[in-house]
Amino acid sequence: MRKIGIFFGFMLIFSVGSIGEANAATADSVTYSVHGQDYGWQKQVDNGAMAGSTGKNKRLEAMKLNVVGDGGITYQLHGQDYGWQSWKKDGEIGGSIGTGKRVEALKIQLTGNIKNKYDILYRVHGQDYGWQNWKRNGELAGTTGQKKKIEAIEIRLVAKSPQVYYSVHGQDYGWQSQVADGITAGTIGKNKRMEALKINVVGGGGITYQLHGQDYGWQTWRSDGALGGTLGNKKQVEAIKIDLTGNLKQTHDIYYRVHGQDYGWQSWKKNTELAGTIGQKKKLEAIEVKLVEKPIPVTSISLNSSKNKIDMKIGESQIQLNTSILPSNSTDQRVRFISSNSAVAEVSNSGLVTGKSTGKTVITAETVDGKKTDTIEIEVLGRGQIFTKNTEIAWGSSWNYLDNIVKAVDEYGQPIPLNEITILGTVDTSKFGYQTVAFGHPKVSGFPPVTIKVLARKRDANKVRQEYLRLVNVERQKNGVNPISVNTLLEAGSAVRVDELVTKFSYVRPNGQPASTAISLSSGHSFRYGTLAYPVKLTNTGNDTDQELAKKLFDATYLGQTTDLNGNNTPNSIRFLDKDRETLGLAFKEIEGKECLGHVFIGGRYT
């Protein structure tokens, strides 16, 4: 045990593993078909097979994608003349048919639970550049702005972790589809015998299994997808043992349970334990198999301290005890902290020590796994203390240091006159954000800091919008264009977009739809010449006046520029000065003065 004095003064079972690829025989797969120049729709392929053509200079024009499994697939195509289409999903046609338009780029993503099990990988073969590198999970494959056609594509699922796959051959129903990781294979309640079984694993090792069956007894061990049991002999499987091989055996256990004639589901077995029965002529009807990561046990714990003794006077900052656990990758690294005398010092679950009174105590750190321990002795000595609190204050108001002091006492617990306390630092309430000051006194050791949060300047949203409109119309007047007016529908649409921009800044909506779909139009009505959208993100606006914020929003939109799909830049001012653009709607939202998200719609007359 090390002795440290402290002076006290201011104050589930699951399946995991390495990467493996899904194939046509697995429960999960990706299927796809393409429509191309001259040849039309090709036959559907799956799991990494090539769709399209290479060496024939034939463009892809459309495609359909699907997945088999617990989830879906979504994809977005970029094509000749039409640019990026909206996202398609689950077998919908992306691209175009009958127009002779080439597909130039695409993005693919998984949805639903299958996204948690797999990455979606894809690569394209294109005009001039051939096969690109593999892309995954929404990355862009192909090119934009280069007028290069895609000619072929390959798509595959890649498992995120090791998995076990298995399939059963049974009475009357034959081979079932392969399942994975704890899913039931076989039948329940139908009195159908299991006759044969294949098991495989993906992820850094192999699997071996031995079956006991009617008349033939124990077969020799089978491995890695080899057939166990019999086909065509109508012989029931009665018992099974399963084990892992290779590196996977070092990191995982194989768990399995069987459902059998008369006894139903047995308890889980693992690593060569016998599941089923022998000598009772009871058929197996179903099985479940799964991988479980082996826990890595804790071997030791040590408290990290370079000092043999630490003194802490009453009122000083708390002491944080940190620990080191070996091995560093042990599974359960939870630690309990215990004080032998909590009246002297308390310790939190995270190891934070707080002195309560003078005296000594021993702090023990104990691991939940294996109950490994290390200890430290704490000594708490009396001293004066200033008790403080953090506060918030309005922008531009007056700060009083007394608002941050709860009380101050000397080493005997007697009050210290507050007018004797020294203040280190000051608070400038004309600057929003966090500011720190400290307090001191000769009878108190150290200088405990406090934080004052100066709130952002109060905002009059109407004044900001009015000033923004005025700035736009000044420019329109200079250029001989009639004033633009505010439209409430455009304002409401901009407000919707601002709420979306707070979550993720994007030029399209979270569902992939154009920004203009945020505008709620009455049936049969529209804005002449459509609407244009201008999102903007500003920083450090908390000190700005309403006029200054309006000017920043104006500069970011009016003085900005827009890049089209071909990479051409157009000054936004051209659109703002368009005589046919007669209405606009501005909305914005500030986040604690640190950031301002804004959005402007401009459009023609609402008809």
Task: Give the pLDDT of residue 358.
Answer: 75
CA dihedral 411, 413, 414, 418 (to 10 degrees): 80
Confidence of residue 117 (pLDDT cuts 50, 70, 90): confident
What's the average model confidence in pLDDT over 504-514?
A: 92
Task: Give the pLDDT of residue 114.
Answer: 87
Cα(69)–Cα(114) distance, integer angstroms: 7
What's the average model confidence in pLDDT over 483-509?
A: 93
Task: Give the pLDDT of residue 564.
Answer: 66
Q: Is the pLDDT of residue 232 over 70?
A: yes
What's the average model confidence in pLDDT over 535-553?
A: 91
Task: Give the pLDDT of residue 82.
Answer: 95
Confidence of residue 310 (pLDDT cuts 50, 70, 90): low
Cα(237)–Cα(388) distance, integer angstroms: 74
Any idea where the domains of the chain sit in the sequence? 20-159, 163-293, 300-381, 387-454, 461-603
Residue 49 in 3-state DSSP? coil
* CATH number for region 300-381: 2.60.40.1080
Task: Give the pLDDT of residue 7.
Answer: 37
Task: Give the pLDDT of residue 331.
Answer: 86
Task: Give the pLDDT of residue 8.
Answer: 36
Task: Give the pLDDT of residue 565.
Answer: 67
| Secondary element (H or E) of residue 93 | none
Residue at 258: amino acid letter: V
The tens digit of pLDDT for each residue in 94-109 reads 999 999 999 999 999 9
CB neighbours (10 Å) of residue 288?
19
Task: Give the pLDDT of residue 27.
Answer: 67
The tens digit of pLDDT for each residue in 242-296 reads 999 998 998 899 999 999 999 999 999 999 999 999 999 999 999 999 999 888 8
Confidence of residue 388 (pLDDT cuts 50, 70, 90): confident
- Residues facing residue 119 across a β-bridge: 158
The tens digit of pLDDT for each residue in 433-445 reads 889 998 888 877 6
What's the average model confidence in pLDDT over 75-90?
A: 96
Q: Report percent pLDDT > 90 for the chain.
A: 58
Do 461-603 and 300-381 have the same topology in CATH?
A: no
Cα(5)–Cα(379) distance, integer angstroms: 4
| Residue of 484, 472, 465, 460 lying closest to 545 (CA atoms) | 460
> What is the distance, to the nearest Å, from the Cα of residue 478 to the centroid of all Cα atoms in its chain?
49
Confidence of residue 10 (pLDDT cuts 50, 70, 90): very low
Cα(437)–Cα(424) distance, integer angstroms: 6
Q: Which two tokens stand for residue 399?
A: 């700060």
Task: Decide yes or no: CATH 3.40.33.10 for domain 461-603.
Answer: yes
Cα(315)–Cα(444) distance, integer angstroms: 8
Pairing outcome for strands 583-591 and 485-486: parallel
Cα(600)–Cα(502) distance, integer angstroms: 15
Q: Is the pLDDT of residue 447 over 70?
A: yes
The tens digit of pLDDT for each residue in 165-177 reads 899 999 999 999 8
Who wins on pLDDT, 155 or 24? 155
For the 387-454 domain, the top CATH level (class) is: mainly beta
Cα(481)–Cα(470) distance, integer angstroms: 14
Q: Is the pLDDT of residue 24 over 50?
A: no
- Residue 264: partners with Cβ closer than 8 Å, 6 or more residues away: none
Max mean pLDDT range (61-65, 338-342, 528-532, 569-573): 61-65
Task: Give the pLDDT of residue 316.
Answer: 60
Peptide bond into 327 cis (omega under 30): yes
